[in-house]
Every structure is written in structure tokens, then in C-alpha cells.
A and B are shown apart, each in its own frame.
Chain A
Amino acid sequence: MDNRPSRHLLVRIRSSRCEPPGQRRLPKREIGGARVRIGLLTEGGYPYVSGEAGLWCDRLVRGLEQHEFDVYALSRTEREEAEGWVPLPPQVGRVRTAPLWETTDDGAVHGRRARRRFAECYGELATALCTAAPGGPAGSPEGLAEGQSALEADRFANALYGLAELARDEGGLPAALRSETAVRALERACRAPGAHRSAREARVPDLLTVAARLERALRPLSLDWYEDDDLGSVDLCHAASGGTAALPGLLARHFCDVPLLVTEYGVRLRAHYLTEPDSSPAIRSLLASFHGRLAAETYRRAAVITPGNTHARRWQERCGADRAKLRTVHPGMDAAPFAEAGESPECADPRTLVWVGRVEPAKDLVSLLHAFAEIRRAEPAARLRIVGSPFGTEGAAYLAHCKGLAAQLFPDEADGPHAVGRNPVSFEETGGPELPTRADAYASGALVVLSSVVEGFPSGLVEAMFCGRATVSTDVGAVVEAIGGTGLVVPPRNPRALAEACVALLRDPERRERLGAAARARALELFTVEQNITAFHSIYLEILSRTPVRRVVLDDTGAPLPFAVPAEAHVPGRWSDPTARIAARGGPSPGPSPSPGPGAVRSGPGWATDGPVRAAAPVSATEGAAR
């Protein structure tokens, strides 16, 4: 029991509400459901306007208004923080932020014992990073190697939690992580026998860079979020991405036994490989090892892992995720703008092919134009609309190139000797009077074509599916996963196959209609926002039922109080008088709790809060929220 006064790194806490407390609307309750208090952990994400996965988190938070969300956000850049937050719905209880970009220093200076403790933990961490088995952090699963890799994983985890405990007890971790001790420990680990080949080549600048990057990645360890009235008081932590964002969740699980749910649309380790091709081998190797081990530890501790697509899932399995914990939750997209187009398939021009997207070389429009030349040979009346704006200067050059190619391949043609001719291939952009939205673009054609050579999750294809259009796409990225059997798939860079598939569909309106309907049904089942929210809702409830946070409430003498937190604590609805109800909702008391044991925080329903522990006056929701 640690009752020492807190000397932790103080994090600036902004006012957490965007609307005055008086206007706060009471959350809706669902009969038979449970109220879950979720700690949403983001990195460079949700509450910030320019956050990457902001839209997804915003939809999730707004969709689950029967639950409570506490947002714990790490900001990546100063600009991001300066741009501010998105408006927050009332179910967001509190927002705590911490910057990852600033070099912070809490001024705490370690004594000799703390220094030795740090050197031990950091040395272990460095050794675990340097002795990665060649073949990835998961390694080749073989008898001896498996035991070895489990040992290494344990070593990494112990070092990580050791550092976190040191930061909790003594503070001063950021300075220590940048200190000479840390660099020396890294050097020793790199030169030790058994170190990875690229790690052995590490030179002094590499060591310094790695130390600085590790310091940044480990910054969540020094935050004061793991107290009983912060992450200790939530029912589960939901990390919106892996990597550094999941680190607070790991620590909350370590310190307060809060279950962790990890959602990943892209695996952090893979992003590391792709974003750092130019660093030196030692840096890449050590940091890859760190990300791999952190991912493995996250997956090991997480209650449920939800990859966003099969691709992420494969990487997670590769990084050591237990298959039993994996549940693919597809990203949700807003189907409403495409509903009109989807319900009126007859308004499409049966001879028109549509391509919609961002114009860039990866989309391989050249191959599409060649394919269209073949289509024209079979179906002279066919037309192609290319809708999209160029992306970057490269995209603009590519667009110009494609326009030139189209003019070369297809001369303008007119209906008769007195009509003005036009080109069968048209390049357009949405937003004009003819094509106000993307939905109109999809709706204008009978067939949607995708000719990319590389693709992540094909959101354009899913939009076409929402519109109920038959599609022909290339077999890249997650296309097959998205389309299932509801569209034709051809190999990439194969104009002839693309042309034949398109001609087959152009000549068969009935099949086109059937495929379109099937695609729309599939998209509405798998890729809507509602599906996404429902999936997370049930996962929350499942986690809550399987791994409830058991909190022990202590009475005045320090003995555990039986039945202090009854099962009804999670039942929504009003059980008693208004003041007590607010106390139940507002969570822990903000003032100094009379007996601040590690668990005496979860307030029960009103009648349970009158116990000897809840001596503090009923907390108003405002206070509870604005802390």
C-alpha cells in the first residue's frame, strides 16, 4: 500500500468539458444492458481535430451513449495540440492529455538506490531488445527457441514494469532515460555476446538516437494516470491503436488490474518498417525489436484484440497474438449518403464504367485505359468516367499523363455529322454541379472499376458496394476480403483480364444487378458504422462479464468490507435519490479519500454509497468530470 505523497510528473490537464455542466444531458439507459466506464487510450488521435483515427473514435463514442468514456490522449506534435479538439459528446467524462513531443523533465534527481534500480531495469530492457532471435520477435516456434523467446518476453515485460514502478515511486524517469547510464546500458547490451548482428554494428550516434526514441516511446510510464481515481477507476481500457497508445493500458492492467482491449487498423511494427527505411540498420533493428516485443506483451496482456482487417490480423498473429483473443471488427463507414444510389440501381447508364478515387500512380489508371481500349473493341458504345482529383504533384503529373494517353487512344467522337463530339473517356472531379458527391459518381455508372496495383483497405470499393453497383477490381490488399464473392476480381496489371471481366458484366445486366444487390447486402452487413459500434458494444460487455475489475472497499479500520460493491453497480438506471445517483455516476470522490487503499474507489449505487467509506460529500457530476 503506497500512501506516499505523489511526486509524479504532473501533466497539464485541460478543462475537459466542451459544454457547460448545466446543459449536460443525462445519458440514455438501455434496459437490460450494463453501464461500462471505458478508458479510451489514443495516440495522436481522437480528441484532436487533426487526429488520425479521429473519425472512427468519434463515431464509436457517439454511438455508445449508454456508456461512459474517459479519454486519455497522447499528442504527437505541437501543431496537433494547437489545433484543438473536436466537440465532445456528453458521455465523455474526462479528458487527460500528455504531449509526446516535448522534452519533459520533472526535476526529480535519483538517489543512489534509484539509480541502481534504473540501471538494472534498463539493462534488462536493452538486453531483451538486442537479443532478438533472427526471424522476428515471434521467432520460429520451436522447443528450445520457444522457451528462449518466452524468457526474453518475460525479461522485456519485467524491465518495462520495473521502469514503470520506478517512475511511480521516484519520478525522474525521462531524464534517466536520456542519461549516460541508459546509453551505456544500450552499448553494453549491443556488444554483449549473443546480440543481434545489426545491433552489434551500432555506433555512438545510433545508440543516442535509440535512447532518445525509447525515451519518447516510454514516456507514458512517467504519467500520473495510473492512480485509483484515473485509469484505476475505469472498467476497461480500450486502446485505439497499438504501440505507445497501448502502453497506458498495459500499465493500468499491471497496477490496477483493468482489462485491456486493443484495436489496431494497422500494426505499429509494420508501420515502423515502412516509415524508417533510411535509418541505420542498428536503429531499425533495435526499434523494430522494441515495437515487436511491446506488441507481443500487449497481445499477451490484452483481454481481446480487434484487428480491423485480415491483413492486420495476420501481422498480429505473426507478432504473437493468441488466436482465441482475436476478433476482426471491420471499420465502419457511413452508408447513409449512398442509400439513395443503392436503392435505385435502374438510374445508372448501362454503358458507363466509373472509376472513383484519388489519382496517383499506385492506382494504375494506364492499365485501366488499356483495358478500356479492349472493352471498346467489344462494346463500341461503352464510356468511361474517371472521377477524382490528383494527390500531390506526382498525382498531378500522372493525371496529365493519363489524359494524354486517353486522348491518344480514343479520338473524340460524335453521334452524327452535325453533333459536337466528345471523348468516350472523361476526367471529372466531384463537387461540381454534375457530380456533387461521390455517391452521384458511383450512381452514374453501371459498373465500378478498381485497377490499383497496391491498396490498403479499399474504402472506395466499399462505397461502390453501398451503392449497389457491380464491381470489377484487381486482387490487391484487402480487396478480396472486402468484396467477398460479390464482384469480379482479376489479377493486377492485367488489362486484358480486366477488359474481359468488364465486357462480361456489361453484356449481362441481370448478373450485374444480382452482383450489385449482393454487394450492397454484404456491405450493409459488414461495413456499416452500426455494425462496428454493435461489435464493440458486445465486446465491452463480454470483457466486463469475463474479467470484472474486482475492487475491494475498505472500512475505517482497513478491513475489507464485504458486499460493498454489489453486482448492481453496473446496472444502468436510477436506484435511489438523485444525489447518491450522481455520486454513483461521478465515480470516485475528488477529495482525499479517508482510506485511500488501492481499491476503495468504485462507488456503487446510491444505497451502497452510504457505507463507512464514502464519507466524502456526494460529488457533483461537474466536479467529477472537470478534474
Chain B
Amino acid sequence: MSGIGELDRPETPRSPGAWDERSRTCLTDGGHGTDAAPTAGDAGAAASSLGTEMDEGGEGVRSAEDRQYAKDRQYAKDRLHAEDRRHTDHSDRIGGSRAADGRDDRADRGDDERDGAGRVDGPRESGIRTGGIREGGLREGGGREDGGREGGAAGGEARDVRQSPSASTARRAAADPVKGLLHRHRDLCERAVDPLEIAAGLEAHGVTDRTAARFRHRDVFSLAEEMYARVPRDGDTPARPDETPTPRPRTAGVLLALLPGVLCAATVAVLHLTEGRPRLIAAAVGLLAVTLALGAALRRGPLSASTRTTSTWTCWLVGYALLGDGLLRNAVTGGPDGLPDGTADGPWPVTVAPVLALALSYAPAVGCAHLFAAGARRKLSSSRGLADFSASVRPLLLGTFALYLGALAALLALTGAVLGEPAAHPQTLTLGALLLLARLLTVHGHAHASTLVLTTTAAVEAAALATLFAGRLPGCGFLTAPVEALVAVCGPAGVPTAACGIGALTLLIHASRRLTRASAHASTERTR
């Protein structure tokens, strides 16, 4: 049995008791216009007029509040212009369901007859308010149930009036019983988007169909409909709860973002200080450390992607930035004559400054991605529509992109000055732009395009090198013509600049269309 209906179990009531002080004062305050304290006779008369509307039965005590209630009720009727129809409808329905439940019901009734007297004994003698309901409410057989219930309720009230010190309160409550309920569940009613939500909330607070009968309603649903109709709804949207604050960058995250740059700088320093075999070992260890640090850093923070990424092509592109220019220059002139020795003036010169700048620029990249994500989230909650959102995010995207390029350029100048190498601005800036855009697209769920562009760029660079070497084969000299022409015009930096520049431009156009969509910034939650 344990699991069954676990969701169906109503929640704990949060409101205070049925007749708490608040409701009582509210009701007493609301009815200063009552002229005479109702006597037991009045209520008795109300009780005797079974089947009549309460407004008619309580003729003698029609106070200001009664009139107000009648007005409210009329309003409710106007809003739910099917009230009467529904009543007849409901009586049919209840009759029908009883017939359908025949066996069960017969059993109940038999039991009722056997033990009926005992069942109502206690409440009746003690004059409890609901005693009348029990009597009137459970013994009906369809037809004009409402009258029976109202009469019963009023009868109960009549007995109550004789004993209870707060007789007038009870009497006024009888005139508009729903008002107290509305007051108690005001939050629920104002929040509700439809009557069924009120019905669900009422049931969770222990209101049953038998309780609803006390409010002269067939069932909780029709009671909820009246409450839904009676709660004033001005057009104001309720105050929206503040959005969850964007995650602040933590110290660990910041350190992790700085780690690749620091490791790379350390490696470069060691390379400069060592010679020969130790330099080779230092280069290998440094390469491994930087790669591992980058992998660890990419696994968390704003640049972490849930999908698989193309690290191979990224490595190839960075490797080209390190070795490619030297190789290209040598290949055009017939080299290379030896393996790279880690210096810029060897037979195969190594350009360390751009790679160091790229590694150091990982931290600004993380910062820019964080800025972009946080800004987009803020825009998401503040914009009115999807078009509005796209329009406001596009400058944000371009701004963060430009910020990163600026940071990268500054780092390039710095590393170039420190290492004494000529600053390789164009090819490094385009490469950085390409890598950042590809990563941003992957993070926001558009991995396809970024993979495609990265692969193409790497292939173009590889092809440029390959054509140079293939041109040395007999009869294939024509292959080298385009690359040599490009190198003649722009120098060896022209090849990576052109490849990465075209790739970055493609990705920028793609990103300015894809990353400005709201669906790219939907949070993907996972249920644990």
C-alpha cells in the first residue's frame, strides 16, 4: 500500500484553524450595519424554509452585508453564466454516478441503516454545527439536495445560535459563508490560474464535498468556481520573484582558468634556461602539463560543454601557430634543414609568443564567456519577447568578443616584448577569435557548425603545407603556385591568417544568428 497515491496525499494545512481569530475579526468588522441581533426564531424560520434560497429565507435580517453578498453572488453568476444549468447538471451526474456505483453504494446504505442511528447520535446531541449537515447531507437521495443541505446547515446554525456567545458572527457567516473562506485562502485564490487550481488547493486543506455543502455548493469544484470568480483580478501582474543570482566566479575557478597560462609561461622560462637534452624533456613535460591543465579547466566553468568536442583539430591549429610559420618559410625556400630546437633563430624557428599569449588569454576568455552568459541571463528575464531578446543580446555578443580580442592583442604585445619575438598579431588574433567562437557555439549547443569550421580550417592549413612539399615532386610544380603567391604578398603569416580569418568570420556570422536566440540560453537541467 505504501506507494499508492503518495502524490495524492494532501499536503499539511498551513492556514490556522477553521475559525481562527483573524477570520472572526474580519467577519465582525465587516458587519457593523447589522441592526438587530438575530434571534433563534429567525434562524429557525430559515431552517424551516427548506429548499429556498438563503437570501429569501433570511428576509428579516437583510443587512448591508447580505446585500453585498447578493451583489457578489450576482457578479459570480454573471461571470459563470451557466450556474443554474450546472446545478441541474450536477444533480443528474450525482444520480448517475450513484447508479453506476450500485454495489458499493448498496453496501453503504445497508450499513447506514444498520448503524445509522449511532452514526449521527453524538453530533446531534451535542448540537455541533455540522450535526445538521450530517443528517441532511448524507441522507439525501438526489433531487433537490441543495435545499436539504442548506436547510440542514441553517438548522445547525440555529442550534448553534442558542449556545454560542458569538451568535451574530455565526449568523453573518451564514449569510455569506464563502467570504470567510475567501479571506482564509486569499493567496490561493489570487494566485490561481484556473478554478481547478483552487479546487486542488482547497482539497489539500481538507475541504471535501461535504464541507462545500456548508457553503451551499454541490461540490468543491463549483465552490472553487465561485471563489475564482469572486476574487478581484486587476490587470497587474504579481511581483515577480527575483531571478536566481548568477553563480559568482569562485576562487577555484579563477585559479583553474589561470593555470594553463601560468604553466605555459613556466615552460617557456625553463626552455630559455636549459639546453640540449634537458630542454627536450622540459618541452615534453611542459606540453603535457599545459594540455592537462587546459583539459581540467575546460571541464568546468562557463566554457564547459556537455557534448563531445573536437580537441584534435584545436591541438592541430595551436601546433601550427607554434611551428607552422617557420616550416612554411623554410619549405618555400627549400628547407627545412633540421628539427626545431625550441628557439626562434634555429633552422626551424619556433614562434612561442603567440602560443603563450593564447594560453594566457584563456582566463580572459573564461571571463568573457561568463560575462556573456550572465548578461544573456539578465536579458532573458528582462526582455518582453524573443525578438526583443535577440536584439539586445547581439551587441552583448559582439562586445564580449571585442573585449576578448583586445585582451588577446594586449597579451600578444606583452609576450612579444618579453620574449623578444616579432608580435604575430594577425594570425594569432584570428586563431583566438576562431577558437573562442567555436567554444561558445559548442557550449550553447551548436557543436555541429563549430566542428565543421575547425576541421575545415585545420585541413586548409595542412593542405597549404602539403602542396608546398608535393610541389617538389616532378611535374607537380604548379601545385605550389597559390601558396607561394600568397606568401609573396603577405609573408608566411598569410596562410593561417586567411584560413583562420575566414573560419572566424563564418563562425561570427553563425554565432550572431544562433547565440542570440533564446533557445540557446535555456538551462538544461538534469534530474538526479
Contact = CB atoms under 8 A, between A and B. Distances in A.
B7 A266 contact: yes
B193 A198 contact: yes
Given A142-B82, A183-B518, A273 B97 contact: no
A103 B130 contact: no
Contacts of A526: 104, 107
B376 to A, nearest CB: 11
Contacts of A271: 7-8
Contact of B518 (A77, A101, A208, A314): A208
A366 to B, nearest CB: 11
A453 B206 contact: yes
B386 A187 contact: yes
A203 B5 CA distance: 34
Interface in B33-92: 80, 82, 85-86, 89
Interface stretch (B11-19, B332-340, B465-473, B480-488): B11-19
A476 B528 CA distance: 35
Given A493-B18, A518-B111, A500 B194 contact: no
Given A52-B3, A201-B237, A178 B522 contact: yes
Interface string B504-526: 00000000000001111111111
A68 interface: no
A100 B208 CA distance: 35
B10 interface: yes
Contacts of B21: none
Interface residues of A, number: 109
A265 B8 contact: yes
A323 B519 contact: no
Contacts of A522: 107, 111
A204 B380 contact: yes
B373 to A, nearest CB: 14
A471 B181 CA distance: 30
A196 B195 CA distance: 13
A77 B80 CA distance: 42
B237 A205 contact: no
B126 to A, nearest CB: 6
Contact of A476 (B93, B107, B206): B206
Nearest to B388: A204
Interface stretch (B115-123, B141-149, B396-404): B115-123
Given A489-B119, A500-B125, A274 B204 contact: yes
A51 interface: yes
Interface in B97-149: 97, 100-101, 104, 107-116, 118-119, 121-123, 125-126, 128-130, 134
A63 interface: no
A285 B526 CA distance: 23
Contact of B528 (A79, A273, A490): A79
Given A103-B526, A454-B204, A484-B108, A183 B386 contact: yes
B197 interface: yes
Contacts of A94: none
Interface string B372-411: 0000000011011110010000000000000000000000
B279 to A, nearest CB: 46
Given A183-B519, A312-B8, A477-B206, 18 more contacts: A51-B3, A53-B4, A56-B4, A136-B196, A178-B522, A205-B380, A208-B523, A265-B5, A269-B196, A308-B4, A333-B1, A485-B111, A488-B118, A488-B122, A491-B123, A497-B123, A504-B118, A525-B107
Interface of B: 1-13, 17-18, 80, 82, 85-86, 89, 93, 96-97, 100-101, 104, 107-116, 118-119, 121-123, 125-126, 128-130, 134, 191, 193-197, 200-201, 203-206, 208-210, 219, 221, 225, 233, 237-238, 240-241, 243, 306, 380-381, 383-386, 389, 517-528
